[in-house]
Amino acid sequence: QRQLVDSGGGSVQVGGSLRLSCVASGYTYGLACMAWFRQVPGKEREGVAVSNSDGDTDYADAVDGRFTITRTRDAAKTTLYLEMNNLKSEDSAMYYCAANSAYCLLSFKLSHYPDWGQGTQVTVSS
């Protein structure tokens, strides 16, 4: 059974760093596209960073230069990371891993991602 499990969230001060992880299991033929989204209450879920299986990446303007998306793969699983540096209060949100095993357009359209993690909370305070 395919599964995405997010972790690594927490509370940090402005200017601090966090690394989120997403373990993807059950994807027999790999993952074409993996991405991070975030959402605050009352607002739409927004894309943060995306990567394809070739190593190409894209970032939302708000995080470009501060966040880095990477992934590793072994026989049993793929792990997606989001390294977040120089965090700002506006980065506070629930962060979600998303995946598409079939194709990747390096987009932030929600409809392009059929699979989602459960989310991990990031809180940045001054």
Label residue 69 by pLDDT band (50, 70, 90): very high
Residue 70 above 90 pLDDT?
Answer: yes
Distances (CA, A) of 23 to 11, 12, 105: 21, 23, 21
Four-CA torsion 118, 100, 53, 1, nearest 10 degrees: 70
The pLDDT value recorded for residue 30 is 85
Average pLDDT estimate for 74-85: 95
In the predicted model, what is the mean pLDDT of residues 72-94? 96
Query: Is the pLDDT at 75 greater than 90, yes or no?
Result: no
Q: What is the pLDDT of residues 38-62, one digit of tens each?
A: 999 999 999 999 999 999 999 999 9
